[in-house]
Structure 1
Amino acid sequence: MTTTTTLEPVRGPFVWRGDQLSGTDEWIFRLSGDQIAELEDAGRRFVADDPDLRFVTAAEYPLPVCADAVRVFGADLDSGRGFVLIRGLRMDGYDDTLAAAIFYLLALHLGEPMRQNLLGDVLDHIVGVSDKKYLEGGLPSRTRDKLPFHSDSSDAVALMCLRPPASGGLSSLVSGATVYNEVLARRPDLAPLLLEPWHYDWRRQDPNAPADTYTSPIVSWTQGTFSMYAGGDMIESAHRYPGVPPLTAARKELLALVEEITYEPGVALDMDFQPGDIQWLLNYAALHSRTAFVNGPDRAHQRHLLRVWLRRDVDRPLVPRFGKHVVVAAPDARQVGPGDDTGRFRIADAATIRERWGD
């Protein structure tokens, strides 16, 4: 048993349950006709200009009509529930390049896009083109399997649905604060472990990583601000490397309890994406996963999401070395790092799937 410290439940809008939200649409922002028109016009100009995605700025493509909405999105992320779903884009009239341009423009107005893979891509694809299973080492972005709840390697993550699958593929979110409160209520002896450093498998996430693991607490609670960074499978696989101490019995219990809570009925909010939906998520506020999916024979029913990772510079207080801190040392996460000769930095190229990469 660990020694219990004085910890209090988290309170505020970050604390929610899926069964409380699923019957409402308060987390859905529906774009107006004027907002849609502005995004379409800006997106068409973006496609025509064809800027380098590493260097283009939001100031070059102002969105005055959408400015208030963008502020609402940011507030939802930073001080609200930690996520928002945007709906209303007229996807029937767009090709993938225009849709990607609109998505990337919104990303620029909400933060700094980050490289997402070894190739240097700042716009990535979530597709089911690989037959390799996730548990066999398949990339989460390329498999069709159910994924465990986890946090991504960025401040915020956004997904845009180009096309849904024939069945399955629900996007599931869980409030990190709700999970923490449940752990504290059920096992106050284990809860303090969440604030201690844990090893995460860096090599599995990045084969060219300079070390096998990095460390981070699961929970940061400092200056009155709660944040969570989780990924039980990455923690467990980190302990296969020489020199990484084995998980204690208490830590194993805690990981099992966190997983149990995330999958309890009513805890998660499941989203069945429609074409054009954009989900914005603060990684510090909510964990995310997806259900397994089946693609259909026609392109319209083959699941295809676009993804952007964002750095949001909002002075959020975090304890030292929290999250995947090893990926944010560069002053500009788009322009510094590997992949300059392989990344896709023009919108038409970036909107195209790398069919066999990651198999």
Structure 2
Amino acid sequence: MTITTTLEPVTGPFVWRGDELSRTDDWIFRLGPDQVAELEEVGRRFIADDPDLRTVSAAQYPLTAAAEAIRRFGADMDSGRGFVLIRGLRMEEYDDTLAAAIFYLIGLHLGEPIRQNELGDLIDHIVGVSDKAYEEGGLPSRTRDKLPYHSDSSDAVALMCLRPPASGGLSSLVSGATVFNELLARRPDLAPLLLEPWHYDWRRQDPDAPADTYTSPIVSWTQGCFSMYAGADMIESAHRYPGVPPLTGPQREALALIEEITYSDGVALDMDFQPGDIQWLLNYAALHSRTEFVNGADFAHTRHLLRLWLRRDVGRPLVENFGKHVVVDRSSTRTEDAVRDTQGHFRIREAAAVRTDWGD
């Protein structure tokens, strides 16, 4: 790929449009029978061993048949389009615990799982069980509403579909570089603002956060490498806290233009998740969202995704304090008092079940 250190258009494989990719299935990887059988076998051993999710390592559960496929997933994220969709798991034969074990094992072989909340949970659940709308403060992972395009709080994020909804719930991706290039073409005067620090609402993302906000640029462009970290709604809501300076007129224009571009015809790629689908995404390469969805009357038609966040060493230089740099790894505690970390679900059987004591 060729990237300059000046504000010129970005080029490379992670510059793409959804209307072009939707004509192919090159971004879908179908697991073969031997790979599926190995993942199932090792997943069952993982459940039987019941290791602590905070300390277990990939070396304890080596893979051979699936090793090359996982290497390919990583390459697709790091130096390809920035994402891959995996298919082929036999979900009709699994319970949620085995599905979660296979998912976590693949994650271990791709990076280091990190905490997704201040309790220390390493697997989160994306389910539409909240009676509170997203606009009313409902957690994105618990509502059924459409979500705006955003970046998650890790190097890589993965979603595994256990069950789809009765209708809706498409997963939508846009190339961050494509969005930037279009903004640069339309309003080159606004582009430099994206390299400056912006406040993000930390407490809106996690009600147990130790601070109200954190700061990050929207764009990191250093040592010839372009990355993007966005989330207009989290930026907007950060300015409700005392001491956070109001957004300027040009900043508001930049956020509005980013949103306009992401929803322009042909920019996004939509995925209709089926049971067993796993989407791997490098957060620095693409933004993601979902459409509104409706759950059915029974459990089999309730949208239920598992989520992993990974710290992944991709050799990607980033400017200081880029992204949600306040996230800590899976074994760390934020303070000397580790009470909250004892409240996390650190065994695969409990981690595979939706928490009813956290989130709304």
Task: Give TM-score scaled by structure 2 length.
Answer: 0.95
The residue aligned with 2:167 is 167
Give the CA deviation at 1:238.
Answer: 1.2
Q: Retained in 2: the 8 A contact 1:18–1:174?
A: yes
Could you say which residue in structure 1 is the equivalent of 2:220?
220
Letter in 2 for 1:343: G
Q: State the Cα distance separating 1:356 from its structure 2 match.
A: 5.3
Cross-structure match for 2:184: 184
Say if 2:312 is the partner of 1:348.
Answer: no
Residue 265 of structure 1 deviates from its aligned partner by 1.3
Give deviations 1:72-98, integer Å, cap 9, x for gaps: 111111111000000000011100000
Amino acid at match of 2:330: A
Shift of 1:132: 0.4
Hey, what's the Cα distance between the residues in 1 that align with 2:210 and 2:341? Answer: 19
Aligned partner of 2:300 in structure 1 is: 300
Per mean C-alpha deviation after superposition, the further-off stretch among 339-348 and 183-192 is 339-348
Where does residue 46 of structure 1 map in the other structure?
46
Counterpart-to-counterpart distance in 2, 1:86 and 1:122: 21
**Could you tell me how far apart the structure 2 residues matched to 1:134 and 1:354 are?**
19
2:88 equivalent to 1:91:
no
| Counterparts of 2:212 and 2:93, CA distance in 1 | 46
* Residues 177-231 of structure 1, C-alpha deviations (whole Å, 9 max, x = no match): 0000000000011111111111111222233434322111100011111100000
Indicate whether 1:263 and 2:263 are aligned: yes
Partner residue, 1:281: 281
1:107 aligns with 2:107: yes
- 1:28-85 per-position Cα deviation (integer Å, ceiling 9, x unaligned): 0000010001001000111111111111100010011111111111111111100000
Question: Structure 1 CA distance, aligned partners of 2:63 and 2:275?
Answer: 22
Query: Which residue identity is paired with 1:345?
Result: F
**Is the aligned partner of 1:70 residue 2:67?**
no
Q: Find the residue that maps to 1:180 and give its secondary structure.
A: helix
Equivalent residue for 1:336? Answer: 333
Aligned to 1:155: 155
TM-score (norm 1): 0.95
Aligned to 1:321: 321
Please tell me whether the aligned partners of residues 129 and 355 of structure 1 are also in contact (alpha carbons under 8 angstroms).
no
Cα distance in 1, alignment partners of residues 64 and 241 from structure 2: 51
Q: Quick one: which amino acid aligns to residue 292 of structure 2?
A: A
Instruction: Extract structure 1 runs of 4+ deviating beyond 4 A.
Output: none
Contact 2:199 2:235 in 1 (8 A): yes
Q: Which residue of 2 aligns with 1:246?
A: 246
Letter in 2 for 1:352: A
Q: 2:305, 2:15 → 1: CA distance?
A: 27
The question of whether the paired residues in 1 share the 8 Å contact of 2:117 and 2:208 is answered with no
Q: Is the 8 A contact 1:199 1:238 kept in 2?
A: yes
Gaps of 5+ in 1: none
The answer to whether the Cα contact below 8 Å between 2:195 and 2:217 also exists between their aligned partners in 1 is yes
Mapped partners of 1:65, 1:192: distance in 2:
46
Alpha-carbon offset, residue 240 of structure 1: 1.5
CA distance in 2, matches of 1:239, 1:333: 30
CA distance in 2, matches of 1:112, 1:237: 30
AA aligned to 2:111 is: G
Paired residues of 2:122 and 2:330 also in contact (CA < 8 A): no
Q: Distance in 1 between matches of 2:357 and 2:132?
A: 12
Q: Specify the code of the residue in structure 1 equivalent to 2:197.
A: P
SS at structure 2 position matched to 1:116:
coil
Q: Are the aligned partners of 1:55 and 1:335 in contact in 2 as well (CA < 8 Å)?
A: no
Q: Which runs of 5+ in 2 are unaligned?
A: none
Question: 1:335 Cα shift?
Answer: 4.1
**Amino acid in structure 2 at the alignment position of 1:340:** D
The farther-off stretch of 74-83 and 333-342 is: 333-342
Please state how far the C-alpha of 1:242 moved relative to its aligned partner: 1.8
Amino acid in the other structure paired with 1:28:
I
Paired with 1:115 and 1:32, the residues of 2 have a C-alpha distance of 31
Q: What SS class does the counterpart of residue 261 from structure 2 fall into?
A: helix
1:201–1:214 contact (8 Å) kept in structure 2: yes
Q: Which amino acid aligns with 2:152?
A: D
The one-letter code sitting in structure 2 at the alignment partner of 1:211 is A
Instruction: Give, in whole Å, the separation in 1 of the partners of 2:348 and 2:68.
Output: 26
Q: Which amino acid aligns with 2:185?
A: A
Aligned to 1:22: 22
Q: CA, structure 1 residues 147+334, in 2 after alignment: closer, same or farther (shift >3 Å)?
A: farther
Q: Secondary structure at the match of 2:16?
A: coil
Matching residue's letter, 2:122: V
Deviation, structure 1 residue 6 = 5.1
Equivalent AA in structure 2 for residue 243 of structure 1: G
The CA distance in 1 between the partners of 2:150 and 2:8, in whole Å, is 24
Superposed CA deviations along residues 237-287 of structure 1, whole A, max 9, x for unmatched, are 111122211111111111000000001111111000010000000000000
2:128, 2:180 → 1: CA distance? 32
Return the alpha-carbon distance in structure 1 between the equivalents of residues 180 and 244 of structure 2. Answer: 26
Contact kept? 1:122, 1:334, Cα under 8 Å:
no
Number of aligned residue pairs: 352
Measured in 2, the distance between the counterparts of 1:295 and 1:209 equals: 30
Task: Kindly report the root-mean-square deviation, in angstroms, between the aligned alpha carbons of the 2 structures.
Answer: 1.3
